[in-house]
Amino acid sequence: MSQNNAEKKRYYEPAPQDIDVENFKKVVTSRRSVRKFTDKAIPAEVLDECLDLALLAPNSSNLQPWTFYVVQSAAKKKQLVKACLNQLAAKTASELIVCVARTDRLDEMAKMNITEFPFPEAPATVQKYYRFIPYNYKTGYFNALGNFKKVAFKVARQFDKQLPVTAFNPADAKLWASKTTALACENLVLALCAYGFDSCMMEGFDEPLVCKILNLNNQQYPVMVIAAGERAEDGVFFPQYRFDRNLFIQKV
């Protein structure tokens, strides 16, 4: 068989071995929302490692629609504490990280998936996919593209077509980016916990003020502010509890 006709070898990645399940459980079960931190700083190399682990979170089409703002300016940090309603977690944290979902870099991220593909050249199917996929989340000026997609999808479903989730309006695009960013946030707080530091994922903040502090545009959405640091002795206010699992897990 000639080389041209030879079947191309597929990429295979073996499943990881010897993962320590008990240590993983320990990280998950010991993560708490800490409301008060000590004065101990998180070493820069530890924070960088945790942020790198956050960026490995699963995300739709590898478009990575997020930015993590590590607020280190004393002036901005003071403003951010105020924007976080002066919560104790924000006031005592060693680090404040604003986790922002973005829908303004779809074309850029799609192109990078082609130019930075881990093989010498992205396959034709991959290139075709990334030329198309940004339109799945774009809505266009005055929502023109979103309205067109809404009508097209409605017609297609009349013919029993199975169609993917798409954005029909800016709120849909924001939701898509926010869901993906939240996955990275979870990676971040678990990584901090594994390194012996704690966190508080705060949704209680003045969103317009946060956007002003960071000079965000109207396609950049603060999902949460993560306060991080070493847990104070009295940093956890209540024991952890959850409701009956049968309320949340359904087998169908």
Say what the pLDDT of residue 158 is: 85
Say what the pLDDT of residue 4 is: 45
pTM: 0.91
Q: What is the mean pLDDT of residues 80-89?
A: 98
pLDDT (tens digit per residue) in 205-240: 999 999 999 999 999 999 999 999 999 999 999 999
Which residues touch 154 (CB under 8 Å, ≥6 apart)?
none
- Cα 54 from Cα 68, distance rounded (Å): 9
Is 246 within the bounds of a domain? Answer: no
Residue in this structure with the two tokens 């297609």, named with its chain if needed: 156
Is 46 within the bounds of a domain? Answer: yes
Is 74 within the bounds of a domain? Answer: yes
Number of domains in the chain: 1
pLDDT (tens digit per residue) in 109-139: 999 999 999 998 899 999 999 999 999 999 9
DSSP class of 61: G
Write phi, then psi, for 95 (nearest 5 degrees).
-135, 145
pLDDT (tens digit per residue) in 190-199: 999 999 999 9
Whichever domain contains 218, its CATH number is 3.40.109.10
- Cα 68 from Cα 103, distance rounded (Å): 14
- 10 — pLDDT class (breaks 50, 70, 90): confident
**Averaged confidence pLDDT in the chain:** 94
* Domain coverage including residue 205: 33-233
Of 72, 50, 63, 91, whose CA–CA distance to 195 is shortest?
Answer: 50
Write phi, then psi, for 125 (nearest 5 degrees).
-65, -35
pLDDT above 90 (res 74): yes
Is 17 within the bounds of a domain? Answer: no
pLDDT (tens digit per residue) in 132-186: 999 999 999 999 999 989 998 888 888 888 888 899 999 999 999 999 999 999 9
Say what the pLDDT of residue 8 is: 67
Token pair for residue 110? 């799609």
Are the C-beta atoms of 67 and 221 separated by less than 8 Å?
no
pLDDT above 90 (res 90): yes
pLDDT above 70 (res 3): no
pLDDT above 80 (res 2): no
